[in-house]
């Protein structure tokens, strides 16, 4: 009998909609998404809520500054949040805006419930009462900074608090000190990490003061029930979104049932500066209303940029969109989860992001996938053989406990989980280097050994993809398909993963690179150009990457990666940029191969790398095409060029002579794989030296798909070396 799935409910804080999100805001959402995806892969039915915090003085003032209404401002920004979450592959199941009527109804009813319970109590014990408030208030963090009129600065942002003097509704927080301490005692994991929990306990132990939960002087908020001169204090309003977002007090019975199923929240996740609101105020508000409490509050540190907390008001923000467009969605997710130890502050830098991308994603997982799949395609006719590999894989990698790696996600040790997965990738690289399957790929007597070796590598790839899927969902799904595995990788149980369960006998998908190598300088330039455009719209030249909604990897390809991955440069390194650019965006003119041969110059590469859309080239006459001499070549030998990780030195027979050509295909082909292969050679390019080695010609390749992996042009039928290609 099928047991119903257990539920799991996770929330992000709702984001202030006074400005657009930056990488710091994206961090909380990505962390929650990784947890949500992980829990689904453990068999849970997951609800994941995010949303926007749209009330308060800071919104009112930001709108005033822009000469628009608060509603117009939040409508504009809310869209940007939603679009960004889509771009980042966030799998939230719900989105709540605090300006929605369903939310106002929930907030008002929460207070009504509290007042209802209060009726049975003496006035001096009631949770909600009216009194005069005088104190300092920070409009940016919505924090009551002090309860006297004396000037005082905000503890979170350091700005001076504004004087507030008015009659308010108060919440008797002081009466909840003991109850909260009991809650902490009976739930030793209520706040994670422990050191944050200790801060919370000390705060509560030092005594709690009642807090004002309404404001009279502002208009942009939810009116107090039956007393509309007051609006709700934004934190009372905002915290209630965790319930209104999943159907609390909904008019729709189906939504109410959803609330019954998913409440209480299993995890409220947030940055460290807002723990107090969640671990102190929120449980007290709920206790007063007689509602079950959330199970756990988890807090991460801050992303620091230029030594300070990344924040719009400090002006030191990086935006996620340009990064995603240049490097892809997975790159940002991977970097943040790998680089920042959850719970601690972490530095963000675009340089280290690109370095990680190239080292771990392009050269690590991406390269392992390319090599393994290409060898299966070439040497095993693209079919996973039909015999068990469990013995061999389990033996080679038996030191790795897969269950333990998966559990690291459950303990929020994301960085450690990824380190382990990349440990497997490195171990597999070592295994292949020792095994050297390409040396016996053509030896029929060693066919079984070849199958075992490649299946072992494929099995490691499968395992690495499942384990990394919560963090890099796009690439892992692609590799999954390329491995010929059925269904969606997200449906695989990450907590039941075993070695040797690769589905064999299947035809593998088309091997395509998932992480093209990126040229750091070019990528930085493109990211910065797009960032400037976000900061000062209209300040830069129209840039295809900022104006299209192209898939991220395409953005990655068009400008930056090709020099590294698909270049087949005889002359300029830029010559290789063209095939990839043209291959992925044919509208720009020409097929990859033809464009590569015809242009062969760095100029085209530079134009695309800078992000500017190149002019559509004019049509060329046949006489122009005839200037390019193309011949069939047969590869005699190939080897790596010392000091250049992308280049191979290829000796190629073109009929009447053997040419030496340098080709930037090392990320896609092992030298041994090339020997005997028929290729297309541009034979009349002027010779040129790279790394002190002469290149006398160019090999044609296409870059298939969005990822720019070089695929050499070849021939299906017999044709002798030296034959003209025209």
Tell me which residues touch ligand MSP (CB under 6 A).
13-16, 24-25, 27-28, 53, 238-239, 241, 270-271, 273-274, 302-303, 309-311
Task: Measure the CA–CA gap between 27 and 333, rounded to whole angstroms.
Answer: 8
Choose among 668, 662, 663, 660: nearest CA to 636. 660
First-to-final CA distance of the chain: 66
SS3 55: coil
Q: Rank residues 238 and 514 by Cβ distance to ligand MSP and give the closer one.
A: 238
Task: Measure the CA–CA gap between 294 and 188, rounded to whole angstroms.
Answer: 14
Name the minimum Å distance from CB 519 to ligand MSP.
28
Name the minimum Å distance from CB 625 to ligand MSP.
54
Q: Rank residues 31 and 674 by Cβ distance to ligand MSP and give the closer one.
A: 31
Residue ranges in 658-717 assigned as alpha helix (H): 671-674
Q: Rank residues 270 and 425 by Cβ distance to ligand MSP and give the closer one.
A: 270
Q: Rank residues 24 and 569 by Cβ distance to ligand MSP and give the closer one.
A: 24
Q: Rank residues 142 and 358 by Cβ distance to ligand MSP and give the closer one.
A: 142
Name the minimum Å distance from CB 298 to ligand MSP.
11
Q: Is 100:52 a contact under the CB 8 Å cutoff?
A: no
Name every residue whose Cβ is closer than 8 Å to that of residue 437 and which is 6 or more positions away in sequence. Answer: 375, 379, 449, 450, 453, 454
Q: Rank residues 278 and 646 by Cβ distance to ligand MSP and give the closer one.
A: 278
**Owner of token pair 């087949």:** 568
Task: Measure the CA–CA gap between 293 and 282, rounded to whole angstroms.
Answer: 9
Q: Rank residues 19 and 565 by Cβ distance to ligand MSP and give the closer one.
A: 19
Name the minimum Å distance from CB 310 to ligand MSP.
4
Task: Measure the CA–CA gap between 116 and 290, rounded to whole angstroms.
Answer: 10
Q: Rank residues 53 and 543 by Cβ distance to ligand MSP and give the closer one.
A: 53
Name the minimum Å distance from CB 455 to ligand MSP.
43
Name the minimum Å distance from CB 12 to ligand MSP.
7
Q: Rank residues 66 and 313 by Cβ distance to ligand MSP and give the closer one.
A: 313
Take residue 629 and report the two structure tokens written for it.
């001499």
Q: Is 569:698 a contact under the CB 8 Å cutoff?
A: yes
Name the minimum Å distance from CB 237 to ligand MSP.
9
Q: Rank residues 8 and 233 by Cβ distance to ligand MSP and give the closer one.
A: 233
Q: Rank residues 191 and 690 by Cβ distance to ligand MSP and give the closer one.
A: 191
Cis before residue 602, ω within 30 degrees of 0?
Answer: no
- Tell me, what DSSP letter sits at residue 618? P
Name every residue whose Cβ is closer than 8 Å to that of residue 270 and which is 6 or more positions away in sequence. Answer: 12, 13, 28, 278, 297, 298, 299, 300
Name the minimum Å distance from CB 192 to ligand MSP.
14
Q: Rank residues 305 and 422 by Cβ distance to ligand MSP and give the closer one.
A: 305
Task: Please list, residue by residue across 547-571, b when 16 or more beta carbons sit within 10 angstroms of its beta carbon and e when fewer do.
Answer: eeebbbbbbbbbbbbbbbbbbbbbb
* Integer CA distances (angstroms), 533 to 312, 319, 544, 554, in order: 16, 11, 12, 20
The backbone region for 222, taken as left when phi is positive above 0, alpha when psi lies in -120 to 50, beta otherwise, is: beta
Name the minimum Å distance from CB 680 to ligand MSP.
51
Name the minimum Å distance from CB 337 to ligand MSP.
13
Residue of this chain nearest to ligand MSP (CB atom) = 271
Name the phi and psi angles at 230, rounded to 5.
-100, 145
Q: Rank residues 313 and 439 by Cβ distance to ligand MSP and give the closer one.
A: 313
Vertex 652 angle, CA 647 and 653, to 5°: 175
Name the minimum Å distance from CB 241 to ligand MSP.
6
650 has which bridge partners?
638, 661
Name the phi and psi angles at 128, rounded to 5.
-115, 130
Q: Rank residues 245 and 559 by Cβ distance to ligand MSP and give the closer one.
A: 245
Q: Rank residues 23 and 464 by Cβ distance to ligand MSP and give the closer one.
A: 23
Q: Rank residues 265 and 597 by Cβ distance to ligand MSP and give the closer one.
A: 265
Task: Measure the CA–CA gap between 662 and 575, rounded to whole angstroms.
Answer: 12
Q: Is 16:53 a contact under the CB 8 Å cutoff?
A: yes
Name the minimum Å distance from CB 332 to ligand MSP.
14
Q: Rank residues 72 and 347 by Cβ distance to ligand MSP and give the closer one.
A: 347
* Integer CA distances (angstroms), 667 to 157, 384, 392, in order: 48, 23, 27
Choose among 341, 343, 274, 351: nearest CA to 318. 351
The helix (H) or strand (E) run that includes residue 56 is none
Name the phi and psi angles at 136, rounded to 5.
-110, 140
Task: Measure the CA–CA gap between 431 and 397, rounded to whole angstroms.
Answer: 10
Q: Rank residues 15 and 38 by Cβ distance to ligand MSP and give the closer one.
A: 15
The helix (H) or strand (E) run that includes residue 662 is strand 658-663
Name the minimum Å distance from CB 663 to ligand MSP.
44
Contacts 24+ apart (CB under 8 A), 223-226: 223/104, 223/108, 224/108, 224/111, 224/169, 225/108, 225/111, 225/112
Task: Measure the CA–CA gap between 691 and 688, rounded to whole angstroms.
Answer: 10
Name the minimum Å distance from CB 79 to ligand MSP.
16
* Strand residues in 187-233 grouped as ranges (E): 191-192, 211-212, 214-215, 223-224, 227-232
The helix (H) or strand (E) run that includes residue 8 is strand 7-11
Name the minimum Å distance from CB 91 to ligand MSP.
18
Name the minimum Å distance from CB 269 to ligand MSP.
7
Name the minimum Å distance from CB 681 to ligand MSP.
52
Q: Is 161:136 a contact under the CB 8 Å cutoff?
A: yes
- Tell me, what DSSP letter sits at residue 180? H
SS3 695: strand
Name the minimum Å distance from CB 340 to ligand MSP.
9
Q: Using CB atoms within 10 Å of the CB of residue 206, give its burial: 0 to 12 exposed, 13 to 18 middle, 19+ buried.
A: exposed
């Amino acid at each position: 009998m099928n047991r119903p799935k257990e539920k799991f409910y996770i929330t992000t804080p709702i984001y202030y909609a006074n400005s657009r999100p930056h990488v710091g805001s994206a961090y909380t959402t990505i962390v929650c998404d990784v947890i949500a995806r992980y829990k689904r892969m453990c068999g849970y039915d997951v609800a994941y809520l995010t949303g926007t915090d749209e009330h308060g003085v800071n919104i009112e003032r930001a709108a005033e500054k822009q000469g628009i209404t608060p509603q117009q401002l939040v409508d504009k920004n809310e869209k940007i949040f939603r679009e960004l979450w889509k771009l980042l592959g966030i799998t939230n199941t719900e989105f709540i805006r605090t300006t929605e009527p369903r939310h106002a109804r929930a907030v008002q009813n929460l207070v009504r419930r509290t007042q209802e319970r209060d009726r049975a109590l003496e006035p001096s014990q009631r949770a909600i009462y009216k009194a005069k408030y005088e104190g300092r208030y920070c409009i940016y963090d919505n924090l009551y900074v002090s309860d006297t009129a004396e000037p005082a600065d905000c503890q979170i942002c350091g700005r001076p608090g504004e004087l507030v003097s008015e009659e308010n509704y108060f919440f008797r927080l002081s009466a909840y000190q003991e109850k909260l301490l009991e809650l902490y005692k009976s739930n030793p994991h209520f706040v994670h990490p422990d050191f944050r929990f200790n801060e919370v306990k000390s705060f509560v132990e030092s005594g709690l003061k009642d807090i004002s939960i309404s404001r009279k002087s502002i208009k942009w908020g939810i009116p107090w029930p039956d007393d509309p001169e007051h609006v709700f204090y934004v934190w009372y309003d905002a915290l209630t979104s965790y319930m209104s977002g999943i159907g609390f007090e909904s008019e729709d019975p189906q939504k109410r049932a959803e609330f019954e199923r998913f409440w209480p929240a299993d995890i409220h996740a947030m940055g460290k500066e807002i723990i107090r609101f969640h671990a102190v105020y929120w449980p007290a508000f709920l206790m007063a209303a007689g509602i079950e409490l959330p199970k756990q509050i988890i807090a991460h540190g801050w992303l620091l940029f230029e030594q300070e907390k990344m924040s719009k008001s400090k002006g030191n923000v990086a935006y996620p969109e340009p990064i995603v467009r240049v490097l892809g969605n997975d790159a940002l997710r991977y970097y943040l989860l790998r680089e920042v130890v959850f719970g601690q502050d972490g530095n963000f830098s675009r340089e280290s992001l690109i370095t990680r991308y190239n080292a771990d994603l392009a050269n690590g997982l991406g390269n392992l996938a390319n090599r393994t799949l290409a060898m299966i395609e070439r040497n095993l006719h693209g079919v996973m053989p039909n015999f068990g590999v469990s013995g061999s894989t389990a033996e080679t990698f038996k030191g790795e406990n897969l269950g333990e790696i998966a559990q690291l996600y459950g303990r929020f040790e994301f960085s450690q989980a990824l380190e382990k997965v990349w440990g497997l990738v490195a171990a597999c690289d070592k295994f292949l280097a020792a095994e050297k399957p390409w040396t016996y790929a053509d030896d029929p007597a060693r066919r079984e050994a070849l199958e075992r070796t490649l299946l072992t590598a494929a099995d490691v790839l499968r395992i690495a993809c499942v384990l990394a899927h919560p963090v890099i969902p796009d690439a892992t799904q692609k590799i999954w398909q390329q491995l010929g595995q059925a269904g969606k990788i997200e449906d695989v149980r990450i907590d039941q993963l075993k070695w040797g369960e690769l589905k064999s006998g299947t035809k593998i998908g088309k091997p395509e690179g998932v992480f093209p190598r990126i040229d750091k300088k070019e990528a930085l330039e493109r990211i910065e150009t797009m960032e400037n455009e976000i900061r000062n719209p209209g300040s830069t030249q129209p840039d295809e990457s900022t104006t299209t909604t192209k898939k991220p990897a395409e953005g990655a390809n068009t400008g930056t990666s090709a020099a590294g991955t698909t270049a087949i440069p005889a002359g300029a390194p830029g010559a290789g940029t063209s095939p990839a650019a043209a291959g992925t965006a044919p509208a720009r003119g020409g097929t990859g191969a033809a464009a590569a041969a015809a242009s062969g110059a760095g100029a085209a590469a530079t134009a695309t790398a800078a992000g500017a859309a190149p002019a559509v080239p004019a049509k060329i006459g046949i006489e122009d095409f005839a200037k390019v001499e193309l011949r069939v070549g047969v590869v005699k030998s190939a080897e790596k060029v010392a000091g250049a990780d992308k280049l191979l030195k290829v000796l190629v027979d073109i009929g009447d002579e053997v040419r030496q050509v340098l080709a930037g295909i090392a990320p896609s082909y092992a030298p041994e794989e090339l020997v005997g292969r028929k290729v297309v050679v541009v034979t009349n390019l002027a010779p040129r030296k790279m790394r002190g080695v002469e290149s006398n010609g160019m090999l044609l390749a296409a870059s298939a798909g969005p990822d720019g992996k070089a695929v050499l042009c070849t021939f299906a039928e017999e044709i002798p070396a030296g034959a003209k290609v025209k």
